[in-house]
Structure 1
Amino acid sequence: MINYTLKQLYSFEAVVRLKSFTKASKELYITQPAVYMQIQQLIQNIGAELLSTKGKKVSPTHIGKKFYQTCLTVIAKLEQSKADIEQTLNPDSGHLEISVATTTNSFVSRVLAQFKQQYPDMTFHLEVTNRKLLLEKLSNHSSDLVVMGEPPADMSLITQPFMENPLIAIAHPDHPLLKNKKNSIKALSKETLITREQGSGTRITIERILGMKFNSEIEINSNEAIIEAVQAGLGIGFVSKHTVKLELENDIIKQLNIDKFPVMRHWHTVHSNKTELSPIAQRFKAFIIESGQKVFS
């Protein structure tokens, strides 16, 4: 009979997810030797190696991968049970784990501020990251709610669009293309184009809808850095209009008038269809869907 404790499950899940004993110990607020001891006891109880270590990199074995899925299921049910009890005792409290795309950070923060005013006893952790890590969050169910542009089509998710997200081209105020009333995609393709890293929602959208392939080696993994690069005259960038409202109003950058632009997309709330949202997460999802457009109009 295989026996294991909750401490062992939490330790193993953290080590596999973070690929490190050190990072797991910091997240769990226990020492690294304590994490290592929990894993060793778990291995002895199961009777099989669960981890493979090469240098500082830790990865699960074949059996470890199977057991990791068990850990995710058990931990998710435990956390859900804990949240349900807390919500029953105090329905206006609870904790939210929210992960958002870098391009959504400014308006999600504003929505959270308003939501917090209505529910002052609730707590939240907001992680701002790139698309790749958002997909990992959705895959391992480590976030209650994800806010992103284009949801992946190959995952079992519940998605809800809640506001328009116009994608525009921006340039330095002295850029020669600004003199034209309208610019063609062909003219744009001759310019130095600055974009997000491969795999980002912005890049995927432009390459698919406009049939454009980026003609430079300039890849930047944050909107703020793209805006700064455009301000410096490095090239033409592509960003959500919501993220450059102040810069446009103050003529720090200019919006280019180009065929097929702006490209209209939507922001979405996204979560796994296998996980039931806690009451506070349900309230926040409804809040951002109902008031998001009004807040940022």
Structure 2
Amino acid sequence: MNYTLHQLEVFLKVAQLQSVTKASEALYLTQPAVSIQLKKFQEQFKIPLFELVGRRIYITEFGEEVVVAGQKIMDEVKAIDYKALSYQGELAGKLKIAIVSTAKYVMPFIISDFINENRGVDLIMDVTNKAVVIKALENNEIDFAMVSTIPNKLKINRIELMRNELYMVGGKQYKHKGKNLSKSEFQKLPLIYREQGSATRLAMEKFIDSKKISTYKKMELTSNEALKQAVISGLGFSIMPLIGIKNAITIGDLQIIPVKGLPIVTNWNLIWLSSKNMSAISKALIDYVNNNKEALIAKHFDWMEKYE
């Protein structure tokens, strides 16, 4: 056997994506380059690693075993890289973060410079709903979480970042009359909700209950992006975080509908378990965020001030 780590890496990516085209995009290589490396890797074995059916690649039983073994090899190689960087005095290792879906409009701007400045840090970021984020935190599966509401049952430390404001929004076709939407008009609106477990849904339900508004649910969607598109199309109305609808409001696809008691205001928080055994990377990130959060927020989110 005389295959290279690069050939193994190419095979693992093709096996994962079941496509030479997708693998080439993921590896930033041309399709011919991926095909050549894949062919050279296969030549090292007398047993087929994959089968080509149409345009799709299917990994054989033997190929699956090579995938398992190959991933272990690549993990060990990565570990060597981490150790080398550590000996050079650089941060090295994995940083695992789980964030609620709306936080995807915030978190990348908070940590991008930190990740770019520390080339040995591999970021794994899961974007999901609040219930899943808190479960991952509770099970110690992640280093940090980003949420807008603090979990009551966990002992956590936190860094408060910035305001999270939720407004009632509708499509451009809606014609609003008067200063604030009346209770009777509110009750006529078909509402679109996020799924159970979403912090946005919880905030919306609490607001409606507090105002004793009798309304009906038009539909339920599992992402803010899907919800935004549904509102833009005229399917209904919703209470949504301002951070995720900036462009749609700017170009006029969405409009904020004034309602007494809105916006709902919470705060984005970077949180971690108080009992967490913090790695050098985690400690460095905490220092970085504490020292730079005001400048980062001013740089990337000053546009929100005109809505306050």
Q: TM-score range by the shorter chain?
A: 0.5 to 0.7
For 2:153, the equivalent position in structure 1 comes to 154
TM-score, normalization by structure 1: 0.66
The structure with the larger Rg is 2
For 2:121, the equivalent position in structure 1 comes to 122
* Unaligned 5+ runs, structure 2: 1-63, 70-81, 303-308
Matched, 1:296 2:296: no
For 2:138, the equivalent position in structure 1 comes to 139
Mapped partners of 1:84, 1:147: distance in 2: 29
Mapped partners of 1:152, 1:86: distance in 2: 36
For 1:69, the equivalent position in structure 2 comes to none
Q: CA deviation at 1:251?
A: 0.6
What is the CA deviation profile of residues 27-49 of structure 1, one whole-angstrom value per residue up to 9, with x for unaligned ones?
Answer: xx748xxxxxxxxxxxxxxxxxx
CA contact (8 A) 1:103 1:223 kept: yes
CA contact (8 A) 1:164 1:265 kept: yes
For 1:194, the equivalent position in structure 2 comes to 192
Matched, 1:277 2:267: no
What is the CA deviation profile of residues 71-127 of structure 1, one whole-angstrom value per residue up to 9, with x for unaligned ones?
Answer: xxxxxxxxxxxx999757634333210111110112212333222232233221111
Measured at CA, do residues 120 and 195 of structure 1 come closer, stay the same or move farther in structure 2, by a change above 3 Å? same
282-291 vs 242-251, which deviates more? 282-291
Measured at CA, do residues 116 and 231 of structure 1 come closer, stay the same or move farther in structure 2, by a change above 3 Å? same
Matched, 1:110 2:115: no
Measured at CA, do residues 130 and 111 of structure 1 come closer, stay the same or move farther in structure 2, by a change above 3 Å? same
Mapped partners of 2:273, 2:113: distance in 1: 25
SS in structure 2 opposite 1:274? coil
Mapped partners of 2:91, 2:103: distance in 1: 25
Q: CA deviation at 1:160?
A: 2.8
Mapped partners of 2:253, 2:287: distance in 1: 35
What is the CA deviation profile of residues 145-183 of structure 1, one whole-angstrom value per residue up to 9, with x for unaligned ones?
Answer: 001111211122223321101111110111123x33221
Q: CA deviation at 1:219?
A: 0.9
RMSD of Structure 2 on Structure 1 (CA): 2.6
* Unaligned 5+ runs, structure 1: 1-25, 32-82
Amino acid across the alignment from 2:193: T
For 1:74, the equivalent position in structure 2 comes to none
TM-score, normalization by structure 2: 0.64
Mapped partners of 1:134, 1:250: distance in 2: 32
Mapped partners of 1:213, 1:92: distance in 2: 54
For 1:44, the equivalent position in structure 2 comes to none
Aligned with 1:182 (options 180, 183, 188): 180
Measured at CA, do residues 225 and 116 of structure 1 come closer, stay the same or move farther in structure 2, by a change above 3 Å? same
Mapped partners of 1:158, 1:145: distance in 2: 10
Mapped partners of 1:84, 1:191: distance in 2: 58
Matched, 1:261 2:245: no
List aligned pairs for 1:9-88, cutoff 5 A. 30=68
Q: Percent identity?
A: 21
Mapped partners of 1:271, 1:128: distance in 2: 16
CA contact (8 A) 1:87 1:279 kept: no
SS in structure 2 opposite 1:219? strand
Mapped partners of 1:214, 1:115: distance in 2: 45
Amino acid across the alignment from 1:283: A
Measured at CA, do residues 209 and 287 of structure 1 come closer, stay the same or move farther in structure 2, by a change above 3 Å? farther
CA contact (8 A) 1:84 1:278 kept: no
For 1:233, the equivalent position in structure 2 comes to 234
CA contact (8 A) 1:111 1:288 kept: yes
CA contact (8 A) 1:99 1:145 kept: yes
Mapped partners of 1:270, 1:201: distance in 2: 15
Measured at CA, do residues 162 and 186 of structure 1 come closer, stay the same or move farther in structure 2, by a change above 3 Å? farther
Q: CA deviation at 1:279?
A: 2.2
Measured at CA, do residues 108 and 162 of structure 1 come closer, stay the same or move farther in structure 2, by a change above 3 Å? same
Mapped partners of 2:215, 2:266: distance in 1: 20
CA contact (8 A) 2:193 2:217 kept: no
